[in-house]
Amino acid sequence: MTINCVLFDLDNTLVGIPDTWNYFDTLIQDVLNLDYKLSIPSIVERNSLWRSGKGFISILKRWDVSDPNDFWIKFDERDRKKRRKLIKENKLILYDDVIPTLKKLNNMGIKIGIVSNTPDFIIEFELDAFKLAPFFDKVLGLGDDQSICKPEPDGINMILEEMKCNPAKTIFIGDSEVDLIAAQRAKVFPIYIDRNKEKRKKFVIDPKSYIKITSLLQIFEIIKRPLEDGKFLAESIL
Ligand SMILES: [Mg+2]
């Protein structure tokens, strides 16, 4: 039994957004300030939104946003405009290891997909800009429905079903803790890509429960190994 399905996060896993935290934090502030004329909550409050999953409604209500779904519509619209500008200015980065990795996976007959918290309409032009779409069997953007965004497992569960993939034979690669948690919850094996070799990342999940890589090409050491279950896969690598 070997891995036959590889799922990826998109932002900062395949395509790099410069100064990411600031990029998304500014979007939150712009929606609150410019669209709603509301005051800006503390950094701790703003950060809590990114890992909230289904809890986003109570957080936004606390910030006096009366319609939480409308908040994300406005957020996505600002995100779309801002990303189009980044692409035009060649500021979005396609990492060097992406095309070689995707080609090799295609040649090996391994199914590949994307599960991203970004909405489909933004993912589409991002993939178009780098001609990535043809490599993928399925691309799933979750941004239209915040309640199923990672760290919730819903998106991964949905794509596994659509791609007819077995979670026990699937890995999920992402750059943030919400990716790792979503993968764990969906019972696929979590892989953390640490492109900046950051030591400071303080994750709450057990470091033994995922594998850390610094280049996508390292996944070939992982997927070639025979495995009986996720545990054996983890033990064989660490
Ligand atoms: Mg990401």
Q: What is each CA distance from 178 to 36, 186, 226, 234, in whole angstroms?
A: 28, 12, 27, 19
- List the alpha helices (DSSP H) in the chain: 20-30, 43-48, 56-62, 68-88, 98-107, 120-129, 154-163, 177-185, 219-223, 230-237
C-alpha span between 135 and 61 (Å, rounded): 40
Ligand 1 center to 47 CA (angstroms): 15
Asked if pLDDT for residue 69 goes beyond 70, the answer is yes
Distance 50 CA to ligand 1 centre (A): 11
5-17+93-237 placed in CATH 3.40.50.1000: yes
| Residue 94, token pair as written in the block | 């396609």
What spacing in Å lies between the alpha carbon of 55 and ligand 1's midpoint? 19
Distance 193 CA to ligand 1 centre (A): 10
pLDDT digits (tens, 9 = 90+) for 136-183: 999 999 877 888 899 999 999 999 999 999 999 999 999 999 999 999
- Region 87-112: what's the mean pLDDT? 96
24 C-alpha to ligand 1 centroid (Å): 12
C-alpha separations of 167 from 2, 10, 189 in Å: 12, 19, 8
| Range 189-217 average pLDDT | 86
| pLDDT reported for residue 235 | 47
Distance 12 CA to ligand 1 centre (A): 5
- What's the rounded Cα separation, in Å, for the pair 237 and 233? 7
CA of 79 to the centre of ligand 1 (A): 15
Entry pTM: 0.88
pLDDT in tens, 77-88: 999 999 999 999
The CA 198 to ligand 1 mean position distance, Å, reads: 15
pLDDT tens string 18-57: 999 999 999 999 999 999 999 999 999 999 998 788 889 9
Residues with CB under 5 A from ligand 1 (ion): 9, 11-12, 175
